[in-house]
Chains A and B, each alone.
Chain A
Amino acid sequence: MTTFAIYSNKGGVGKTAAAVNLGYLSAAGGRSTLICDLDPQAAATFYLRVRPELHAKAIGLHKGSAAVADSIKGSDYTGLDILPADFTHRELEIRYSRKKGSTRRLAKALGELQAEYDVVILDCPPSIGLLAENIFAVSDYLLTPLVPTTLSLRTYAQLKTFLREQHYDSARFYTFLSMVDRRKKMHQSISAEVQADEANILPGAIPYTSVIEQMGIRREPVPYSDPSSPAAIAYKQLWRGIEAELLGEM
């Protein structure tokens, strides 16, 4: 089992799009996969057509990871499940405010689930607080989307500093290019620079395209709805890179 956190200190960079599309590709390749929607915005949950329902019974991390397991929903795709947002968010918030300090609550809540799946993907909200520390503690790798703009590069540098402060092992930190607009000169030159300079960059630059934007309307992963689109191909390339570099053989 391997846990990936799609993580960034910035919003709107394509984290959720990546979590859903990579999760779909992972399952389609035969790995049992769980997407954990940690973002109260619940975008990943929405993309997979799952309705946030709050059963009283489901509110209860204190019941251990068995209760968490009860909230998991199967997606429309074989091998892909989702832990909906509402649940995780509320739970975590309650827990954090009540007992401060622990960075391993998320790890505890997901404990047995991680063993049940080959791949767990965390769709994270932008956070550098306690939630971030929880995310670092539970994940094997961080995958950070990087939009090739000067501003993003600065936030990216801040992120690296933050990780260093957190003593996060840099070997577990990977990045990939996201929302790359081929028509923009600046995007092209920064992309080339990043690909040349960053040691931990994964292959497969995700293009800025309308098929990804339309995920919100179609509510389907791009490699499923439009498998031959450049976006789908880029996600497949990215996933193959992750498989080769981080997962090895099944």
Chain B
Amino acid sequence: MQDRNAPPRRTYTPKPEQINALKALLEQGDSLELARLLGDDGSASLFVGRYTIRDEGMVRETRRYFDTFAWQLHQAGLVLIKSDHKLILETLDGAIKKRAPSPGNFRFASDLPAESLRADIEELIGVRALLEQASVDMATRRFAFLNEDEKTVVRLAVREYGPPVTRRDGTPFLEVFILPVRGYKEARKTLQQQCKHAGLVKTNHTPLYPELLAQARRQPGRYTAKPDFDLRPDMAGEAAVRSVLRKLHDVMLTNEMGIVEDIDTEFLHDFRTALRRTRSLLSQAKGILPEDARSDYQQRFRALGKLTNDLRDMDVYLLAQERYRAMLPTDLQPESEPLFDYLRRQRTIALRRVRNGLATQRHARLTAEWRDFLDEPVSPGSDAPQADIPIVVLARQRLLSQYRELINDGNLILETQDDTLMHPLRIDTKKLRYLLEFFSDILPGAEGAGFLKQLKSLQENLGEFNDLAVQRAYLIHVADELPIQKRANRRTLVVIGVLVDQMILRQTKVRQDFRDIFAAFAAPATQHTVARLLAMNGQTNGQEGKA
């Protein structure tokens, strides 16, 4: 744009005694008044006979600043701004990165216009919703300075922002700025001199957005779905476990509101991940936490997980709509609509169940009691025999035994070819993964030597295998449910048939890959490395440093 090529915009703040005059100028747009304000008293003026001033009118607009709940744009140093007619992707220090015409209302990246803007934002925020984080009203009046050809050679604008009406340093949100026109340097310089002559103060204000956020007491970048657990190796087992559980509970609490308000699917996703990690850690905490409480909460959190299963499943199907459609031949693609309609209806039902469940007394009690339990000072008379053992020792034990269990269960599948064991194996991998995450601070080497990468690819493989199995079964269930009298639905049955067929093909491939991936994971060399990595940490046993 014009401003892109022009020298940086110069901004001035009025002196206190100029504020009223400027406000009047903004309201009334009197060019003579402007000439007077700039010190043009008819004598010794830089302007006389050179330029005529034309009022170009006042424009009011509201700027709205968008980011996700997790401040993903802010973390990338960006913000999405919607004004009346355009969308602007700006850096936090106010430089324009991209712009596009405004699309009216939007919620997700996919609602945004202009491919390149959409792609940039989608990459940063994925499926998260864009929420309004701040807004400001602006009134701007522009004056054009015309040369003898009646050509505009420079502009001056007066702008007022609000609310709030003052910056944190007390200066008013009222400013004057010069908008240069490319190729007319002299006019710009003359106007700059005149502003100086008029006593306007050149400013270098911080950009608006951080100012607005600060005044609204919003703190960007505080949310994370993956908190740092910050454990120390010598912490007592029980204290360490409680501290991890507390952080996980924080994540769950933070996300509850977004689930209930149905802002985007990530709230439930993050909530469930924290919940699964909680359950996983509870199952590993036998002997570390008091047994009665441990098994009681274990069971209550299992119920909470169950409450949210259906909703997450529907989210997953609906998020994969495009992928499903792509699996179909083009002529069948429109026939998939009744299937997605059905899924959307099921999602509504599932959402209602989750909302109701989260609003119950039972859930409120779980939340309060769990918190109390976690905050309770560690009971000296604990019946848990391992409560006082340093966490690093317990972590090493649990990791090793979880790793062994995984190897045994996987080998059993290879021997028996029993695919029903694939699901429990997936749970094994998740447990191991969570343990590694909890204890990454105190056992930093445990993730090393490519082990984590191997674990991830095993997890992905098993995840895909199980997802395909579950989704296939669910599609067949949907086929049972669709009213067959409707003509459109009959074609949808064909759609389901094609999808199931595609899934079987894919599943066979994934199942074949499993062999190799697991073999690598269970290879004696890897087992040896893991044993060594775990042993190496926190305790010197003579093996350290040997290749």
Q: Is A32 an interface residue (CB 8 A)?
A: yes
Q: Which residues of B contact A250 (CB under 8 A)?
A: 100-101, 113-114, 116
Count: A-B pairs, CB below 8 Å: 58
Q: Closest approach, in angstroms, between the C-beta of B115 and any C-beta of chain A? A: 5
> Whose C-beta in chain A lies nearest to the C-beta of B101?
A30
Q: Is B144 an interface residue (CB 8 A)?
A: yes
Q: Closest approach, in angstroms, between the C-beta of B442 and any C-beta of chain A? A: 51
The answer to whether B100 and A74 have CB atoms under 8 Å apart is: no
Q: Closest approach, in angstroms, between the C-beta of A225 and any C-beta of chain B? A: 13
Complex Cα–Cα for A248 and B183 (A): 31
Q: Is A213 an interface residue (CB 8 A)?
A: no
Q: Size range of the interface on B?
A: 20 to 34
The answer to whether A49 and B1 have CB atoms under 8 Å apart is: no
> A-contacting residues of B (Cβ < 8 Å)?
1-2, 4-6, 86, 99-101, 113-116, 144, 149-152, 180-184
* Closest A-B pairs by Cβ, 5 of them: A73-B183, A74-B181, A74-B182, A49-B151, A76-B152
The answer to whether A30 and B100 have CB atoms under 8 Å apart is: yes
CB-defined interface of A64-85 with B at 8 Å, one 1/0 digit per residue? 0000010111101011110000
Complex Cα–Cα for A72 and B6 (A): 11
Given the known interface contacts A81-B182, A249-B115, A250-B100, the answer about A76 and B2 at a Cβ–Cβ threshold of 8 Å is no
The answer to whether A49 and B144 have CB atoms under 8 Å apart is: no
The residue that B2 contacts in the complex, of A29, A69, A80, A219, with Cβ under 8 A, is A80
Q: Is A163 an interface residue (CB 8 A)?
A: no
The answer to whether B5 and A71 have CB atoms under 8 Å apart is: no
The answer to whether A71 and B183 have CB atoms under 8 Å apart is: yes
The answer to whether A76 and B144 have CB atoms under 8 Å apart is: yes
Q: Which residues of A contact B116 (CB under 8 A)?
A: 249-250
The answer to whether A81 and B144 have CB atoms under 8 Å apart is: no
The residue that A50 contacts in the complex, of B86, B99, B151, with Cβ under 8 A, is B151
Q: Closest approach, in angstroms, between the C-beta of B99 and any C-beta of chain A? A: 6
Q: Which of A48, A71, A116, A250 has most B Cβ within 10 Å?
A: A250
The answer to whether A74 and B149 have CB atoms under 8 Å apart is: no
Q: Which residues of A contact B151 (CB under 8 A)?
A: 48-51, 76
Q: Closest approach, in angstroms, between the C-beta of B86 and any C-beta of chain A? A: 7
Q: Which residues of A contact B6 (CB under 8 A)?
A: 74
> Whose C-beta in chain A lies nearest to the C-beta of B99?
A30
Q: Which residues of A contact B183 (CB under 8 A)?
A: 50, 71-74, 81
Complex Cα–Cα for A248 and B114 (A): 9
The answer to whether A116 and B182 have CB atoms under 8 Å apart is: no
The answer to whether B182 and A73 have CB atoms under 8 Å apart is: yes
> Whose C-beta in chain B lies nearest to the C-beta of A53?
B183
